[in-house]
Amino acid sequence: MIVIDKIQFSYDKHEVFDNLSLTFNEGTIYGLLGLNGAGKSTLLYLMSGLLFPQKGKIEFNGYDMTKRNPNALADLFLVPEEFDLPKITLEKYVKLNAPFYPKFSRETLDKCLHGFNMDSNILLDKLSMGQKKKAFMCFALAANTSLLIMDEPTNGLDIPSKSQFRQVVSSCMDDNRTIIISTHQVADVQNLIDHITIIDGKKCLFDRSVMEIEQKLSFTTSAAENAIYTQDNLGGKASVCKRLADDPETPMSIELLFNAVLIQRDKINEVFNS
């Protein structure tokens, strides 16, 4: 669905990407991870056609995103980390903006609002940060675009709302849709995402499906002798190991994997390439 081919991008003299290539496929929820300043938000804006690479190409369903083709823009939606909403009701907002999205579904909107315990008569400018995010995400999901990009979507949400977020997003996912979630709140998306992509400034450090990860690696709550990476946790240790043939499959820990990739990237990738 999205092909990023050898892009370069800089802000003045600050180089963000140099020869970066990635592919994002249909029917997948991606977790885009990286340290502060790694270029996650910049990459999202490049994919959305809000920024243009200085070299290389980004294509979405065959459209060159630098051309900002109306058909491409009508089939993608970006939920940025911070945004303002007008002084109108959500109902009025839908009336004004839904026509720009040919696949917009009122049924989906009502389902998402119900999932967040909200209604369409809310005044957008009177909402708290968390409520504003939930309302905007409901519209984004109801737009039914093939590509949905969310930058730090759970910032500002309370604990019950984070659980609702996972349920609402899962209920709107299908095989023709791609969702990319950039976040530092990895626990919020632990059981939601299908694929982990970790970037660090100019390069991609790691790019694997959750299925591959759980087949190749073991995650333990102890300091294992064959550990590739071990970190201190509250009350003990936690380790990432190469999974052996007779090892049981263990649930992936995104936080543990992320730290392991940052510290032992070559050893982690060697497991997948062997």
Tell whether 183 and 216 lie within a shared domain: no
Pick the closest to residue 85 from 146, 164, 140, 165 (CA basis): 140
Confidence (pLDDT) at 6: 94
Pick the closest to residue 255 from 271, 234, 274 (CA basis): 234
207-230 average pLDDT score: 91
**Domain end among 163, 178, 201:** 201
Tell whether 100 and 232 lie within a shared domain: no
Pick the closest to residue 182 from 196, 203, 164 (CA basis): 196
**Domain end among 146, 180, 201:** 201
Tell whether 91 and 178 lie within a shared domain: yes
Tell whether 119 and 225 lie within a shared domain: no
Tell whether 43 and 143 lie within a shared domain: yes
**Residue 68 pLDDT level (bands cut at 50, 70, 90):** very high
Tell whether 170 and 225 lie within a shared domain: no
Tell whether 166 and 244 lie within a shared domain: no
Tell whether 58 and 194 lie within a shared domain: yes
Chain mean pLDDT for the chain: 93
Long-range CB contacts (< 8 A, 24+ apart) of 119-122?
120/89, 120/90, 120/91, 120/94, 121/89, 121/90, 121/91, 122/89, 122/90
**Residue 203 pLDDT level (bands cut at 50, 70, 90):** confident
Confidence (pLDDT) at 202: 76
Tell whether 131 and 247 lie within a shared domain: no
User: pTM of the predicted model, to two decimals?
Assistant: 0.94
The string of pLDDT tens digits covering residues 84-131 is 999 999 999 999 999 999 999 999 999 999 999 998 889 999 999 999
Tell whether 146 and 174 lie within a shared domain: yes
**Residue 59 pLDDT level (bands cut at 50, 70, 90):** very high
Structural domain range at position 216: 208-273
The number of distinct structural domains making up the chain is 2
Tell whether 62 and 119 lie within a shared domain: yes
Confidence (pLDDT) at 58: 96
CATH number, position 44: 3.40.50.300
**Domain end among 162, 186, 201:** 201
Tell whether 164 and 218 lie within a shared domain: no
